[in-house]
Structure formats: C-alpha cells, structure tokens
Amino acid sequence: MPEFQSVRGFHDIYGEELKKFRYLSNLIREKLRLYNFEEIVLPVVEYVEVFQRSIGEATDIVQKEMFTFQDRKDRWLALRPEGTAGAVRAYVQNRLYALKPYVKLFYEGPMFRYERPQAGRYRQFHQLGAEVFGSLEPVVDAELIGLVYEILSELGVKVVIEINSIGCKVCRPAYRDALSAYLAGVEEHLCEVCLDRKDRNPLRVLDCKVPTCKSAVKDAPKMVNFLCEECREHYSKLKEYLNAMSIPYRENPNLVRGLDYYTKTVFEAVSEELDITVIAGGRYDYLVEEMGGPPTPAIGFAVGLERLSMLVKSLPPEDPLYLVIPFGDVLPYALQVAKALRAEGKRVEVSYKKGGLKKQLELANKIRADYAVIVGEEEMAGGFYTLKDLNSGIQTRVEFSPAF
C-alpha cells in the first residue's frame, strides 16, 4: 500500500481511459465547431450564491453535494457542481448579450459533487457543455437535440432520446398543486428522500429511481396536460422539427431534470444498456434575468465524459509508432532522423535504453511500436537509416541527409 493515495471519489486519468477522453472531447468539439459554437473557459471556483440562486436551494446539489469553503475574508466559495450557472454568470457579468442577437458558447472541465462514488460517477467528474442564449424559438431546441444525436451516432453509442415539456411560470403552478395533492395520497409508498422532496420540490419525485416511488407515481398527473397555449405550441413545434430531421425520440412525461432553473423543453440521452443518462439538458428561460441580466431565453446541454466513455467500445486506430534505435556513437544523427520523421507527421519515440538489438526489439514490443528505425555507424556513414516493419519483418534502406 503506497503512503499517499488519491482522495476517495477523485481518480487519476491515464492510458486507454485518457485516450478515450481526448477522442470524445475532440469529436464533440468538432461537432460544436460545425454548429458555430465558441469556447469559453470558466473558473472552477464561484461564490456559493451563484449556485444557490441558479440551481435552487431546495435541490440535492445545493443542500448535500457541493464542496464549499471559506476564503480568508470569510466569503463562502464553492467548487462548481455544474457548468450552466457559471456560464450564465459570465454571460451577464461580461455583457455578452450586447455582442450578438444570440450567443452560442461551450465549455469543458472538471465539476465537483459530494456523491457516493460509483461506476462512471466520481466526486470530480468532467463535463463538456453547450449553451445558446437569446432565442426562444423551438428550432434551437431541435438543433441541440439533433446535435446530441449526431454525436452519439458517430460514436456508435446506442441511446434513447427522451423529451418532455415542464412548462413555464404560467402553467407550472397549477401542475405543482395537482402533483402535490396526488403525492399526499401515495406518501406511504415514497422513499425517505421523496417524502422530503414532495413538499420542497415535488417534480423531483417523478425522477426517483427507487422502485416503490416509480410505481407510486405511475398514475401521477402529467405536465403535458397542464401546458399553457404557448408551451403547448412550443412543444408541438419541437416534435415537428425533430420529425423533419428524422431524429428518433421518446416522450417521457416523468422527465423533469434535477435543477430548479429548467423551463419548457427538457431532454436526456439514456443508455438502456447501462441504464444511465450520458447527455442531458433543457431550457432555462428565466435564469439570466434572475441572475441580474436582461430577460434572455436560453437552452443548453452537458455531456458526462466518464459516463460516455463507458459506452464507447473502441477507438479509431492510432497512427503507427516509430522507435528510433541508435547503436554506437550516433546519437546526434539519430536525433536528426527522429526530427525529420516527426516533421513528416509521424509518431516517433527515441529509445533511451542501451543494449543489443534483441533488447531494443523487446522494448519496441512493450511500447507497441510498429516500426524500428535502426541507426548505427554504418547508417550514419552511408547517409541512410534502416526501417524495419515489426509486423512483417521486412527491412528497407531509406536515404537520409541530415541538416547539420
């Protein structure tokens, strides 16, 4: 047992897992570029009030899961548990609303929640999120959901896109009253957490995964039956546009999401194989104004990279690896060979190991090299190097003129 270990719920990312992370990040970033999103780098630390105001004081995240601490001036700070609140704070503080009619941003980085660590969910986890500020049009919702579907399709990840509308300030109060009345009649079947939720945040009861709670809310009132005319039209148009783009989806009337700021459209990409959500998002049309900005409708989503990487079965093959092996007093020449190969875009490692050809080829096998680039005194004197294909065993003499 080593003397020092990582903190529980915080883990090192390296090797194949890191390769997956980089591949996923690069693929999603390229998709976002095609949709004309711009990157923003957000602080890891915010004032606690940023999350209390946006996420909601009655949510599990704010009440139980935030890492909070005081600075030297006794101000309460928090490690960010999600990205949207910080993005909204940045949008308002930097007056980004004055730049364009609507603004499309994305961000990437670690988030922190004090939860029980489990497969694909750590106390430090990584998200890549995207936000669109400034448009109330349902075509924005449809495009974002279409973007999510494109990402997952290109990765070969099988998911179900679930959608719902949770209304707005006009129609949600009546639904909340109807739901609360219903939950009061089935409270003996609710888990301890949902008994607390039913008064503070009754919509969250619909999202509970405990079997008794799922059964208890099966006949609960549905928000879609309480939508005002504006919300009903918005939801109808969203489905029309998704159908026009041939984006498969499933309506889930119990889909609510866990944060208080959501309005109208909410959606999730759910893996039925592992029964986990890998991408989720929705509208938050009042949050910018509530955080001190002008009235600004908005919508976004976030990808959990740890969870998504669990569903990616394979990665594209890496570029071939060339191992440059110097024999004798030829290291300057060998370094010139390595430099030239890298200038051609090849992936190159110079052997730091001393020994004969057998030991060098053992090293090549351990680092999974595809080619051995043999550089000895004969090669240096003749102005060439020997290229050995380690899969076929074929050796080729390659002419080389050093730049010194």
Contacts of residue 134, Cβ cutoff 8 Å, sequence gap at least 6: 97, 100, 101, 102, 103, 296, 297, 298
For residue 404, tell me if it sits in a domain. no
CA trace torsion 20, 85, 171, 264 (10° rounding): -30
pLDDT surpassing 60 at residue 404: no
Contacts of residue 13, Cβ cutoff 8 Å, sequence gap at least 6: 21
pLDDT, mean of residues 328-350: 95
pLDDT of 314 reads 86
Q: Are residues 155 and 176 in the same domain?
A: no
**Torsion sign across C-alpha atoms 132, 137, 143, 148:** positive
pLDDT surpassing 60 at residue 58: no
- Residue 55: band (very low, low, confident or very high) from pLDDT cuts 50, 70, 90: low
Name residue, tokens 């609140």. 85
Q: Are residues 212 and 326 in the same domain?
A: no
For residue 23, tell me if it sits in a domain. yes
pLDDT surpassing 60 at residue 40: yes
- Residue 337: band (very low, low, confident or very high) from pLDDT cuts 50, 70, 90: very high
pLDDT of 116 reads 82
pLDDT, mean of residues 299-326: 94
pLDDT of 403 reads 65
Domain that holds residue 201: 172-219
Rounded to an integer, what distance in angstroms lies between the CA atom of residue 346 and that of residue 322? 7
Nearest to 189 by CA among 161, 219, 221, 159: 219
- Residue 115: band (very low, low, confident or very high) from pLDDT cuts 50, 70, 90: confident
Q: What is the largest CA-CA distance in the chain?
A: 91
Which has the minimum average pLDDT: 123-127, 254-258, 336-340?
A: 254-258
pLDDT of 193 reads 83
Decide which of 403 and 370 is more confident: 370
Q: Are residues 273 and 370 in the same domain?
A: no
Q: Are residues 301 and 156 in the same domain?
A: yes
Q: Are residues 105 and 29 in the same domain?
A: yes
Instruction: Give this prediction's pTM.
Output: 0.89
pLDDT, mean of residues 114-136: 90
The pLDDT tens digits for 210-253 are: 889 988 898 899 999 999 999 999 999 999 999 999 999 999 98
For residue 6, tell me if it sits in a domain. no
Rounded to an integer, what distance in angstroms lies between the CA atom of residue 141 and that of residue 237? 10
User: Total structural domains in the chain?
Assistant: 3
Name residue, tokens 């096998």. 365
Q: Are residues 346 and 371 in the same domain?
A: yes
The pLDDT tens digits for 144-169 are: 999 999 999 999 999 999 999 999 99
The pLDDT tens digits for 263-275 are: 999 999 999 888 8
